[in-house]
Every structure is written in structure tokens, then in C-alpha cells.
Structure 1
């Protein structure tokens, strides 16, 4: 029998012997050299009611609506995203049907068109009535309720004659609900997120959707075209949000994306992979000190959660600061399409939408994954060729051999041992490494004081 989201149990909290929490900061893009100290998980003070801190006022009705400051230029065409479609074009306006006289209920022929009023049983239970959706104004287009379309976003940084807009997929449900944004390939070489967004978006039926889903499969289009992580100015886009209108190239792209798309959303899932020939277990990166974010993570089925407060300039941090509930989803490695990682990502996004009341499906929830409040990288002490003895997701014990580095000239072999009990949530693929190379990322479960 399928379980509903109401029956989902909270992710189990990890245990430690000391009861203290020291959390290593995780660079969102797995740039290991960028690791900094993250704020520990905060515990409720004695006698505190532990009520969530108030969130910024962001009424859903005010986002993505047609206002004098945000006028819609045209009606976006209704496109079946599963089919190959021409570029967006305005739909012809449909004339409103003739309305019978509001007093007599007669049409032009004098014949009554009013339906008889049914008798109401006062003891009958009330049926839940879904609120109809409103149009979404995005990128100068009006996306009507119950439709899906492709729009185009251009940050305006290219040579005019060579400008190439970035596709934006939009599904505006027939019923009212929250607006979820999905971003992929903020780093141009991270392919799994592109496919996760494509499969998720193309599976949505606007007539059965409550709310809106906005997907940008390829944010960093120049990097994607060059199979590069970075922008043409060699900057990391995920260190420049919310951006600046008059700053560097990266600042301007970040500003355009944030102002024109991200700010129209209530929730955001930014999808990444490991970098530098490293792979990540499907996991969420989330600031568990934020009550809204912590609750948000419970909607992702079978997805481990790693506590991370993030670094300045990350899209996740900028969005949370703007009052948008945001997490980062990490899955797999760069430059590759990995079916297992993609399936995990699509499954978790479907569970999230069901949890948020956006879709209604028969969904069987898996066992909750742990929350890892602490993690550490184990580094190679010698150079050579790395050979792993464990797999991504394995549970390991302190002192256990994770792999070894073989010197191809001297034939010496140097084992790499686990620094703690935990689970492999990230690791380097077998490759040539130098001394100091971060090889295995171990998530450790730690007790949070007061919980």
C-alpha cells in the first residue's frame, strides 16, 4: 500500500559520543580547496519554544503577476514539452463567448440559459475546492493557467549578432500553488542536472498541476558549449550571486538570472555534480539552521542531507537571503550522464512536488536517509595511481582501508584508511593523484545538543 507524504518520518539525526558538533563547510561545487568552517547546527536554548524564525514576507500572489513594473508583452504559446516545437509565438486571442442577460437569464433568442439551482444538503460534507491558478508573467510573456511553454532568457552579454538565448521551460498548472524553480548546469560541465530537469519537466501535466514549475536546464550556456565548468572570463558563476548590473561578466549573468527568473519563485532546487574527477552520492546541501529549509529537505525521498551553510556568492545562499526556500542537489560527477543518479534526482523532485501538494501520485516513500552534520575529506599521502576498494554510499569504519595509491615506477603501494566511522558521500574516481589530493569524502553522524 502506497504511503503518503503525511506518513513520512523525519530523517534520523546522527549520533556521536561527545555530543558536540563541528561541521566542516562544504563547497557547493566540491572544490575541495575552498572548504571553510561552517556554522554548527544550532540547538534550542533552555526553555525556548523553538519556534521557527519569521520568514521574509513574500506573498505568492505578488510573484510573477502582471504589474505596471512587470508588464507582460505577449501571451506565451501553449506547447507540449514532450514534442519538438517551433520557437515561441503569441497565441491568437480567443473571443469571449456570448453571456446571457444577467437579470433575465435569456440569450438573444429569449430562451432561458440559466441552469436550475441544485438543492444543497446541509449535512453533506464539504468537498475541497481547488483555487484556480492565475497567469504567470515571466521574461515579458504571459503564461496562461493550465499551459506549458518554452521561453528564452538572454543576459545581454553576447555580441549582438551572435546572441544565443538560453531556453527556459515553464509549466503553469491549472490550480493555484507554489512556484518551484529548477536550475541546472550553473557549471557548464555538469550534465546530470540537465537531464534531471528535462525528465521532470516533460512528465508534468499542466491540467493536473497545482502551482508552477520553472526549469532552466542549462544556466551557463557558454560553459556548456565549451564543456567547461567556468564562464568565458574564467570565473565560477556560483560565486557571484545575486550579481551586479554593472559588474564583471559573471556578475551581470548572475544578476540577470536572479532578477528575471529566480525572484519569481517560492522554492529553488539548484542541481550540481562533483568536480575535478570526483563523484557525489545523491544528496542535498542545506543550511539546517534555517527552519524553513530544514523542513523543506523532508520532502526529498531517499536523499541524504549534508548540513552546509554555504559560501558567499552561491545561488543557494543568495536565494535564501531573498526569502526563497532553497537547497542544492548534488548527484554524480561532471562530464557524464549517469542513469542511476538521474533516476534518484527525478524521484526526489517528484516526491518534493507531492509533499508540497503540487502533484498527486501513488508514491511509495523509502526509508529516510540520515542528516550528516559533519564530514571530512581523506587525502592521499603519496602520489601515484588511485585504486578504490569501496564504492560510493558504502558505510566504513575508522581505520578501514578505502583504497590505495600505487607508484607505477617503484611498485610501492600506499593504503588510504578511513579517518572515522561514517558513509562515503563523495569520492575521487580512479586516476593519477598527487600527495594531498582529496580522495574520499566521509559523512559522519553527529548528535545535535538539545534534540
Structure 2
């Protein structure tokens, strides 16, 4: 936390008690027009941590956009202690095209951080975002969804070997935390490397606003704000059960060995037992069925939504649960699961 409570970025500053909505230039189009990202900076009158909330690093991942907008514009932040940097759409070109990657050479903005000013267009954009709006922060929440055609239960991805990240991930209050350092270039990975603990929140599917997931994600933000004293509340949520999936847990993406039309028998978030049929792949005549069974007892963190596959396409993301957690989940779930989406 800086002794200077004024938030500064290249081109401006936001004093305590002030809110600014800006469109910040990070690149240019083929016509030389600016590519600008929307940023809302809310600087509370009281000192406290500086926090970023970001979404749509992949342009078609929309749920997080609404999470960030509601925090910025619908929450009563008159008691805010600290500063919020709200970036609902990081990948503006991808958002406008409604596609995952930057249309410029199909590059992934979320593999381009912390960026480089004399490199690719994606890394130049990433550098301007990172240096101006990530680097001044104390920690961050980065919102994502599954890629198109698949859906995730709400869960957190975090490097739990980092004490600051572990505190943040647990404070968010998800049922599932997947422990991983993350690949180079990912926003949470690169921010954490320079001392800004950051987690990724995964929820739902691309091209959708899913109200239940948005509300659940907002509850996590509220819990984080309570943990770090950003608002006058002390309610850090407990989701009823929580598990950290690390290298000790079995986990796998189950892939199709045959092409065809998929009948998925379980929802995201469902508990399946070893040997349970997860899905069936059929041909158009339904006379050549291939069944996919669970290789171990676990939780379906992600499942296929688009019901057609080639051989090798992912069908579901299955993670192992420890026995005490498995018993709790089993007691809470309906027959098809998905009690918390």
C-alpha cells in the first residue's frame, strides 16, 4: 500500500474521493484510429489497498464484464477504503469481433503479459495495460469463462504456494481452488511474479450473461473486500465446503476417442463415481454408441456444451475429491449435481 493515496497512470491521476471513467488508448487500428479500453478508477476517501478487477482478456468471455460493471456502478462504495481499478473489457478488438483472441494475427492477449513495447501488437497492448493499471495495485481478480462450446462451474485458479495468493483465493470463498502456477504470459501469473497476488475466477461459458454465476462471483468479490478491509463489512463467506486441487489429486481432461453427437449425462459441478457413465457419443443413426465412463470418483469442473465432437476433442474436466469432501458434496447434491453453478 502506497503512502501516496492518489492513483496515477500515464496521462492522469485520480485523487482520494474521486471517480474517473476513462477510455485509455493501448493501440491503433489499420486506419490509425485509437484502440481504447474502458477503465473506471474509484479512489476512496480512506486509505487502503489498491485492487484491480479485470475481465474479457478473451473477447468472448462475457460473465466477468457484468461482475466488474456492477461493482463499479451499482455497489455503494461511499465507505471504500482504498482504490478500485475496474477494467471490464481488456481485449477490446476481440470483444468487438466477439472472438476469443485478438483479431490481429489471432494472438492471445492473456499469454502476452507483462508485455513489451517493441514487440508484437498483443505484447504492446499488454504492456500499456500492465504498466498503467496492474503494476500500481496490491492484488487483483481476473474473471474468465470457459472457451466456446464448454462450460465451467465457478472455481478459482491460483498459485497456492504464494502466501498472498493463497489468502486471496480462500477469501474469495469458492468451492474449488485449482492450484497451479499458470503459464508464462497469463495475467495472474505475471502479476504474482512481481508481487501483486492475483487469482483467476472461471465461471460458465462464453457469449453469455449467466445471472446465477454473476451473483455468485459478486459474493466472492464482497468476501474479498471484507477480508482486506475495503468496505465496512466483516462477512468473509464460507461456501459450505472447499477443496484445493493440487498435484496430490488426480485430475484429467477426458477426450473423445470417436467423432459424433454427444449426450452429456451430468451437469457441470456434478459428482460422479468411478465407472459412472459421463456421456455417450452416437452417430446420426444412433446405432453405434460409444460410452465414456468416469475413470475415478470426482467432480465435473467443466463439461461440453456444444454436443458435437471430433476424436480428441475435450468432453469434460474431472478432478478427484478427498473422501471427507466427497461425502459432503454427495449429501448436498441433487441426482444430477450442479447445486452451485
TM-score (ref. length: structure 2): 0.88
Distance 2:291 2:256 in 1: 9
Instruction: Find out whether 1:367 has 2:240 as its counterpart.
Output: yes
Structure 1 counterpart of 2:330: none
CA contact 1:135–1:144 (8 Å) conserved in 2: yes
CA contact 1:139–1:151 (8 Å) conserved in 2: no
Distance 1:157 1:259 in 2: 18
Output one character per residue of 1:394-440: Cα deviation in whole Å (capped at 9) or x when no partner. Answer: 11111110111111146222111111111111111141111222101
The partner residue of 1:399 within 252, 270, 275 is 275
Structure 2 counterpart of 1:337: 209
Instruction: Find out whether 1:416 has 2:292 as its counterpart.
Output: yes
CA contact 2:158–2:180 (8 Å) conserved in 1: yes
Structure 2 counterpart of 1:293: 165
Instruction: Work out which structure has the larger RCO, using CA pairs closer than 8 Å and 6 or more positions apart in sequence.
Output: 1
Structure 2 gaps, min length 5: 324-341
Output one character per residue of 1:78-120: Cα deviation in whole Å (capped at 9) or x when no partner. Answer: xxxxxxxxxxxxxxxxxxxxxxxxxxxxxxxxxxxxxxxxxxx
Structure 1 counterpart of 2:2: 61
Distance 1:410 1:209 in 2: 59
Output one character per residue of 1:180-201: Cα deviation in whole Å (capped at 9) or x when no partner. Answer: 1011100001011101111122
CA contact 2:28–2:35 (8 Å) conserved in 1: no
CA contact 1:425–1:443 (8 Å) conserved in 2: yes
Q: After superposition, where does 1:61-140 map in structure 2 within 5 Å?
A: 61=2, 65=4, 134-140=5-11
- 1:160: how far off? 6.6
Structure 1 counterpart of 2:310: 434
Structure 2 counterpart of 1:347: 219
C-alpha change, 1:141 and 1:245, in structure 2 (3 Å) is: same
Aligned residues: 318
In proportion to residue count, which structure has more strand?
2
SS in 2 for 1:182: strand
CA contact 1:155–1:257 (8 Å) conserved in 2: yes
Structure 1 vs Structure 2 CA RMSD: 1.8
C-alpha change, 1:432 and 1:281, in structure 2 (3 Å) is: same
CA contact 2:56–2:144 (8 Å) conserved in 1: yes
Distance 1:324 1:340 in 2: 29
Q: After superposition, where does 1:4-23 map in structure 2 within 5 Å?
A: none
- 1:140: how far off? 2.3
- 1:342: how far off? 0.9
- Greater mean deviation of Cα atoms: 260-269 or 356-365: 356-365
CA contact 2:55–2:142 (8 Å) conserved in 1: yes
- 1:445: how far off? 3.0
CA contact 1:147–1:207 (8 Å) conserved in 2: no
Distance 1:258 1:136 in 2: 15
Instruction: Find out whether 1:247 has 2:119 as its counterpart.
Output: yes
- 1:284: how far off? 0.5
CA contact 2:64–2:143 (8 Å) conserved in 1: yes
C-alpha change, 1:246 and 1:430, in structure 2 (3 Å) is: closer
Output one character per residue of 1:51-93: Cα deviation in whole Å (capped at 9) or x when no partner. Answer: xxxxxxxxx216xx5xxxxxxxxxxxxxxxxxxxxxxxxxxxx
Structure 1 gaps, min length 5: 1-59, 66-133
- 1:149: how far off? 2.0
Distance 1:234 1:182 in 2: 25
The partner residue of 2:68 within 188, 197, 203 is 197
Distance 2:33 2:175 in 1: 41
Output one character per residue of 1:338-363: Cα deviation in whole Å (capped at 9) or x when no partner. Answer: 11111111111111111111112374
Q: After superposition, where does 1:246-285 map in structure 2 within 5 Å?
A: 246-285=118-157
